Chain A
Amino acid sequence: GESVGLHLPTLSVQEGDNSIINCAYSNSASDYFIWYKQESGKGPQFIIDIRSNMDKRQGQRVTVLLNKTVKHLSLQIAATQPGDSAVYFCAESGANSKLTFGKGITLSVRP
């Protein structure tokens, strides 16, 4: 079946370094991709999104890259801060606004 997955379950980075979180998706019909951040005890929080007609989108300290050729999505966080520690999910959306989530990766920021 169609799935969205993440390459690594955990990522540990030094405070101030850049973080890169990768995600592979398998549904070539997906046309909308989102990164969510989930802190302990809270619901997923929108970070940034990108549509399939783009290959890069930048926000505040975050950049999402989309490579449709290899069905790969990445989230780059610049100057990672302790407040960035959380679980990050990629999600893809296709027909009927259905979101398919990856299983999540934990980002841990070392002081």
Chain B
Amino acid sequence: EAQVTQNPRYLITVTGKKLTVTCSQNMNHEYMSWYRQDPGLGLRQIYYSMNVEVTDKGDVPEGYKVSRKEKRNFPLILESPSPNQTSLYFCASSFPWDTQYFGPGTRLTVL
């Protein structure tokens, strides 16, 4: 089954404790992206990757890092999480300039 998977689905952590949210897709898509979704602000892009080893900032990249060492994986790294990064995070993938398919989301709470 074609899908985008994210782990974990739910995470509660404390300020400053490094964490990684994994994202994997099995559709051989070149393009992958991370979004955060906040009430009243909609979905905002954090980082995106056009292909392996090619990443770039989206609209709200501060406090986040990404890497793209393999085509199927695109982890999101929070080196020192802060409460304002409490949000619902979505990973998405697609062929370039085509429909993006979203994962199920990761709900992160930073205390």
Contacts and interface: CB of A to CB of B under 8 A. Distances in A.
A97 B48 contact: yes
Contact of B100 (A42, A99, A102, A103): A99
A99 B45 contact: yes
A18 to B, nearest CB: 24
Nearest to B31: A97
Nearest to B94: A97
Contacts of A42: 104-105
- Range of interface residues on chain B? 20 to 34
Given A96-B48, A98-B45, A104-B42, A46 B31 contact: no
Contacts of A98: 45, 48, 58
B96 A97 contact: yes
Contacts of A36: 102
B42 A89 contact: yes
A103 B40 contact: yes
Nearest to A51: B97
Interface string A77-111: 00000000000010001001111111110000000
A103 B41 contact: yes
Interface of B: 4, 31, 33, 35, 40-45, 48, 50, 56, 58, 90, 92, 94, 96-105
